[in-house]
Amino acid sequence: MLETPIVEATLQRALAGGGDFADVFVEDRASTSSTYDDGKVEEMRSSRSRGAGIRVVRGETTGFAHTSDISLEGLRAAADAAAAAAQAGGPGTKVAPLVERTSTRPHLIETLPETVSKAKKVEMMARADEAARAESGSITQVTSSYADSRRRILVANSDGVLATDDQVRTRFAVSCVASADTGLQTGSEAPGRTVGFEFFDEHPPEEIARIAAARAVSKLEARPAPSAKLPVVLRRGAGGVLFHEACGHGLEADLVSRDASVFAGKVGERVAGRGVTLVDDGTLARDWGACAIDDEGALAQRNVLIDDGILTDYMWDLLRARRDGRASSGNGRRETYQHLPMVRMTNTYITEGTEDPDEIIRQTPYGLYCVALGGGQVNTATGDFVFGITEAYMIEEGRITYPVRSAQLIGNGPDALRAVDAVGNDFETWTGMCGKDGQSVPVSAGQPTLRVAELTVGGTAA
């Protein structure tokens, strides 16, 4: 993407007036997306962006500047701006000779989306549209969308690190509206993978469409959700977002170091029941948050955060790790070259247990069975979280009985972790975009079917 001498010159320039550390992040991103609505292509979009972000660290202060001009002159101007912002002063810092870090991609990309015709992409959306409408006569509206992106990055820093990655992602979403006397209901499904067009071998458009349509249709019969504290069984994949929100964010070292996490100072302590192991794993092949390197050039790795209920470690980016005299855990990520990196999750999941998922339901006399959840949110300082139920059923006498309408689940992260009392032997992940401080990055979250002994369900039924 850039010649090594240019990168080296930029780093030297950034530290010429002082400073402890500098890095250059170069990104070239191209994406295509399209929306298919009402039986036709509504829009075909493409976009391109290319630029570099330069960071200079002096003491506790980080200066940052970015530019879309990646010529030597453009980079030099950005380096000067970042150095000025860091208020760097004093003798210059030496830049270590750049040595390329060899990274192993978690998997190979089979078919680059840019080599697939737009017509073929349109065909996938048409197939989904047809399948969704065929699912039920009550489906009145179908929107399907296709998106691919290719993000090539180069990271170099004054410690001598030089690393590159080529990240290809494909996502497909179907959203349906079903209509009946009971009103309108929506259902959607939106899997994404860090793969090329082979995505559709794993997720045929018809299958995604049928899930979305069935979800909307099932809710036509839904009754109001209860307003009560209940045992909640989370189907495999569906509850990953709960642990992402309720625990994952509180284990990010930046929040921990600000004393803004309920998990601060608790390494080595029991924070969850036996059988609960929480992992963040950037190397989880093909998953939505997978990468070879993070956006600071650290190799992606598998980090065990909670081991059989005991808190073992937090997630780290480069700056927090340097201050603590340890290595980054490969969790320094940024949305684009225009953003500063910070501690972010990749693919976060609870590992599978031993129980039969069906048996977990049978052993629940009364409770809620969640099949799909929308987004969620957490206050890391208090641990309080919420997340929306988008498909759920009541469990009565160990059997799934009727669907319930959308409602909010609410709880407290540490409490919910301790309340996990059954962990299944199945596993699935969920695709999402995680927002933090205004930056959005692709992540996945996963879990086996499991039961939380008690969560508050905020419906309107008595």
Dihedral over Cα of 344, 245, 247, 60: its sign: positive
Among 4, 104, 227, 401, binds other proteins (CB under 8 A): 227
Q: Which residues, including other chains, have CB under 8 Å from residue 304's CB and lie 6 or more apart?
A: 277, 278, 279, 312, 313
**Comparison of 111 and 140: residue with beta carbon closer to other proteins:** 140
Residue 79 touching other proteins (CB under 8 A): no
CB of 381 to other proteins, least distance (A): 5
**Comparison of 241 and 292: residue with beta carbon closer to other proteins:** 241
Among 376, 403, 413, 446, binds other proteins (CB under 8 A): 376
CB of 396 to other proteins, least distance (A): 19
Among 4, 5, 42, 327, binds other proteins (CB under 8 A): 42
What one-character-per-residue DSSP string does 125-173 give? Answer: HHHHHHHHHHH-TTEEEEEEEEEEEEEEEEEEETTSEEEEEEEEEEEEE
Among 1, 18, 20, 49, binds other proteins (CB under 8 A): 49
Among 66, 215, 333, 344, binds other proteins (CB under 8 A): 66
Residue 37 touching other proteins (CB under 8 A): yes
**Comparison of 205 and 424: residue with beta carbon closer to other proteins:** 205
Residue 442 touching other proteins (CB under 8 A): no
Choices 32-40, 193-201, 281-289, 346-354; region in contact with other proteins by CB under 8 A: 32-40
Residue 80 touching other proteins (CB under 8 A): no
Choices 95-103, 182-190, 292-300, 305-313; region in contact with other proteins by CB under 8 A: 182-190
Give the tokens for residue 212. 């979305």
> Interface residues for other proteins in 122-181 (CB under 8 A)?
122, 140-141, 143, 177, 179
367 touches 388 (CB < 8 A)? no
> Interface residues for other proteins in 248-277 (CB under 8 A)?
258-260, 262, 264
Among 4, 5, 68, 358, binds other proteins (CB under 8 A): 68
Q: How many residues does the chain have?
A: 462
Residue 89 touching other proteins (CB under 8 A): no
Distances from the Cα of 316 to the Cαs of 373, 374, 410, in angstroms?
Answer: 28, 27, 28
369 touches 395 (CB < 8 A)? yes
CB of 365 to other proteins, least distance (A): 20
Angle between helices 72-85 and 4-15 (to 10 degrees): 30
Choices 149-157, 223-231, 273-281, 308-316; region in contact with other proteins by CB under 8 A: 223-231
Residue 318 touching other proteins (CB under 8 A): no
> Interface residues for other proteins in 387-416 (CB under 8 A)?
387-388, 390, 405-408, 410-412
Name which of 387, 373, 394 is nearest 215 in CA terms.
373
CB of 43 to other proteins, least distance (A): 6
Q: What 3-state DSSP class applies to 408?
A: strand
53 touches 337 (CB < 8 A)? yes
Residue 323 touching other proteins (CB under 8 A): no
Residue 108 touching other proteins (CB under 8 A): no
- For the stretch 331-347, what's the b/e string if a residue is b when 16 or more beta carbons lie within 10 angstroms of its beta carbon? bbbbbbbbbbbbbbbbb
Q: Which residues, including other chains, have CB under 8 Å from residue 216's CB and lie 6 or more apart?
A: 139, 176, 177, 178, 185, 186, 187
Residue 228 touching other proteins (CB under 8 A): yes
Q: What 3-state DSSP class applies to 216?
A: helix
CB of 384 to other proteins, least distance (A): 6
Choices 14-22, 89-97, 114-122, 362-370; region in contact with other proteins by CB under 8 A: 114-122
Among 4, 43, 123, 362, binds other proteins (CB under 8 A): 43
| CA gap 440, 436 in Å, rounded | 7
- How many residues sit in the footprint of other proteins (CB under 8 A)? 79
| CA gap 52, 155 in Å, rounded | 10
405 touches 393 (CB < 8 A)? no
CA angle 436-265-322, nearest 5°? 65
| CA gap 143, 408 in Å, rounded | 25
Among 26, 124, 225, 247, binds other proteins (CB under 8 A): 225
Choices 80-88, 89-97, 327-335, 391-399; region in contact with other proteins by CB under 8 A: 80-88
Residue 88 touching other proteins (CB under 8 A): no
